[in-house]
Structures are given as structure tokens and as C-alpha cells.
Amino acid sequence: MKRHTGQDKDKTSRWRLETQLVRGGTWRSELGETSEAMFMTSGYAYDCAEDAAARFAGDQEGYTYSRLRNPTAAMFEDRMALIEGAEVARSTATGMAAITHAMLSVVKAGDHVVSSRALFGSCRWVVETLLPRFGVESTLVDGTDNEAWKAAVRPNTTAFFLETPANPTLDVVDLQFVCDLAHENGALVVVDNVFATPVLQKPLQFGADIVAYSATKHIDGQGRVLGGCILTSEKILEEHVLPLIRNTGPNISPFNAWVMLKGLETLDMRVNKMCDNAEKVARALEDMNGFDWVRHPSLASFAQRDLALKQMSRGGTILAVQLPGGREQAFKFLNSLEIVDISNNIGDAKSLMTHPASTTHASVAEEARLELGITEGMLRLSVGLEHPDDLIEDLQQAADKAGVTG
Ligand SMILES: *Cc1c(COP(=O)(O)O)cnc(C)c1O
């Protein structure tokens, strides 16, 4: 392998985001390929037995086995670390593998976790159901209520977990407050930053200790492959994350890591364009005057707008609405869409809409769902890259057919 400027951290850390997204972390082989090489290999051969021994001893640079590191996955990890401003990153097969391993790496039996209750369904299951099975207690709080975080801390609290903005309610957690509180109490903070993306929000700057992503969403951005990433400091990686993942093996496939590298090249462009579209669509939905509410952090009517825009450079690509006619009207609306797909994925180039109460949050008990504000009339829209006027026309005709307007 030839060294490439993409690997020179002193230089790449001074590059602007757009350059980092295209060139950060790149290694180039002797062949000089412009597109990153895909190393579909599980193992590595050594020139001699002494080299193998030296590499295992850590005295020689190089790869030993793809569960420990793979060159294509490493390029994805190095690029992710660079854009997030993290010291290090490790990639995983899915977003849930990233979040589960991040959480498991910072707790042991007897510990206690405080978490916001507005979470992606599987994240909530990890905190509420999986961790207690292994003797880790958890308390779920209203993440928007700083006093609730404070009140939940116990002497054995070792980790905080949160998602902001949260899926699908767009609840915003005060990152600076919660990170400061955790550190005063000797706890580490793990943030699921999927909704915000690394383009719009960098939780490490507010003190978060670990940031986890589902790369399946905006990072791939074209609905093709699953992947995830854990970003943190060298110290936390060595002490907490590596001992776990080197042995449990949640690795991403080199093929999927390569797809993610291609996705990152256009991440800034796509996320900003999707934010433009989301802002226009949110305003148009509000103007239709038939919804109970329209929620997007860019709207003047968004209750936590100031906090959201203090932490995020823009309002994001996802919005939520509530229809007055409950599930029946929400389904009628979805079934009338001609461009927007009925789909529970997010971050895709294609606009996707879902009814959280019957899909992503169907497994959350009804009472807990209502506590979160996930009502029967609520729909979530992940805004894509289509022309915003086509999206607005499609949503307008669906609103008309469902009897939301007029
Ligand atoms: C999708 C998602 C996840 C899980 O990611 P997978 O890649 O599907 O495993 C976690 N958190 C949030 C907020 C998500 O949207």
C-alpha cells in the first residue's frame, strides 16, 4: 500500500468537511486506483513467520484478520472519525450493532443507566429489556426535562444514553446540560446521532463520550446496505470498546464499508438538499391548515427551536405531522400517496413516510407510546431528494383525498 494524503491526520484535520468527505482516510494501492479499493478478504498472508509474530505482537504495522481490522472498513472508519472530529472509529454491520456494543462496552452488572425514553424502538429495547437481563438497571426519563435527568442519577450510574432529535417525535435533548451532568457524576454519555447526521450536529463538541450511527440511513443515503459506526476517544476505544468488539465480532462487510465510503462522498450535498426540501415541505404542510400540528425544528412553531438550532446547524431531514382523524385518516393519507413511498426507513434519496404507531413503535406498549406523543394520527416523513414542489403536490393531493384539508 502506498501512503496517501488522506491518511495524514495533520493535513486532513485542517481540510473542510466537503474535502474530508471525499478524500479523508483514503489509502491507495500500488495500482493508483482513484476509487477506494474493496478488500473482500477475511485473512492476510505474511512474508515470513517472523512477520506474523511481529504483527501479532503489535511491533509491525499491518493486518492480521478482518474481525480485528480490514483495510476497506478502516478507510470508512478513518473518514468517519475525521468528519465527526473523533480520535477513532470502528464500523459495525448495522446501527443496532453499533449502539448495542457501545452500551455493553460501558456497563457491567450492578451499574445503572439513565436514558431518554424517546428512542428508536430497538434502542429502547436494549436499554429497557436487554441491559436489565444482565444486572444493569435502567431509568427512562423525559429527555427534554433537564430536572428529570438530574433526579434519575444514582451513585452507581455509569452511563447516559440519548437520541436527539428523537425518533419519531423530534424531541430535543439539551446536549451540553446532560453531558455536564453525566460527567459531574462520573458517567459516560452515549449519543445516537442518526437523525442529526454528522453534517448537522457533533455531540462530541458538547462533551459526549461515544457517538453511534446507523450508517444505513443518510450515510449510505440510497437505501442499499446496512451499516453502523462507533466514534470515541482512543482511551475509551482501548479500555471499553475494543476488548468487546474484537471478541464479539459485529463487523461490517468490506463491501458495505465500500458502499458507505461512496455514500460519504455526497453526504454534505445530500443532507443540505434534503434539509432545504424538508423546510419547504414543512412550511407547505403548515399552510395546508388541516393538520393538528406539523413538527420540524426549522418551523417558528417548533417548541424547542432555539435549543435545536443551538446544537444543530439546520433542522434536519425528517418531519412529523398529526392528522385529526386518527389511524383511519392516517392510513387513507398514506394510501393516497403517489410519489412518497410508504416505508419505515429514513435518510434515503427517496421520500419515505410511515405510521410509527403501527410500524416502528408497534412493539412499544400503547401507554408508553402515548406518553411519547406517538398518537394514532401521527405520520413521520423522511424527506428525500425529489423536487420539493412535486413532494408538496403529492402531499396536497393525499391530504385532499384523506379529507385533511377543505
Ligand atoms: C435506524 C436507526 C437505528 C438502527 O440502525 P440499523 O442500521 O437499522 O440497525 C438506530 N437509531 C436510529 C435513530 C435509527 O433511525
Per-residue confidence in pLDDT tens, the chain, 406 aa: 666 788 888 899 999 999 999 999 999 989 999 999 999 999 999 999 999 999 999 999 999 999 999 999 999 999 999 999 999 999 999 999 999 999 999 999 999 999 999 999 899 999 999 999 999 999 999 999 999 999 999 999 999 999 999 999 999 999 999 999 999 999 999 999 999 999 999 999 999 999 999 999 999 999 999 999 999 999 999 999 999 999 999 999 999 999 999 999 999 999 999 999 999 999 999 999 999 999 999 999 999 999 999 999 999 999 999 999 999 999 999 999 999 999 999 999 999 999 999 999 998 889 999 999 999 999 999 999 999 999 999 999 999 999 998 6
What fold, for 2-264? Aspartate Aminotransferase; domain 2 (3.40.640)
Q: How far apart are CA 122 and CA 228, in angstroms?
A: 14
pLDDT, position 3: 66
Which one of 194, 200, 211 would you pick to mutate in the ligand 1 pocket, going by the greatest count of ligand atoms within 8 A of its CB?
194
Task: Give the model's pLDDT for residue 10.
Answer: 87
Nearest residue (CA) to ligand 1, atom 6 = 95
Q: Is 187 in the pocket of ligand 1 (CB under 6 A)?
A: no
What is the distance of C-alpha 136 from the center of its chain?
A: 24
Q: Which three cell numbers stand for residue 174?
A: 439539551
> Residue 163 — φ and ψ, nearest 5°?
-130, 130
The pLDDT assigned to 364 comes to: 87
Domain boundaries, the chain: 2-264, 268-402
Q: From the CB of 202, is ligand 1 less than 6 Å away?
A: no
Q: What is the reported pLDDT for 1?
A: 64
Q: What is the pLDDT of residue 164?
A: 97
Measured distance CA(123)–CA(202) in Å, rounded: 20
Strand order in 352-354's β-sheet?
293-295, 318-322, 378-382, 352-354, 341-342
For residue 217, the ligand 1 atom closest to its alpha carbon is 1
CATH T-level topology, domain 268-402: Aspartate Aminotransferase, domain 1 (3.90.1150)
pLDDT value, residue 406 = 67
Residue of 216, 251, 256 with the most ligand 1 atoms within 8 Å of its CB, for mutation: 216
Quote helix, strand, coil % in the chain, to nearest 5.
45, 15, 40
Atom number of ligand 1 nearest to Cα 166: 13
Judge if the beta carbon of residue 167 lies within 6 A of ligand 1.
Answer: yes
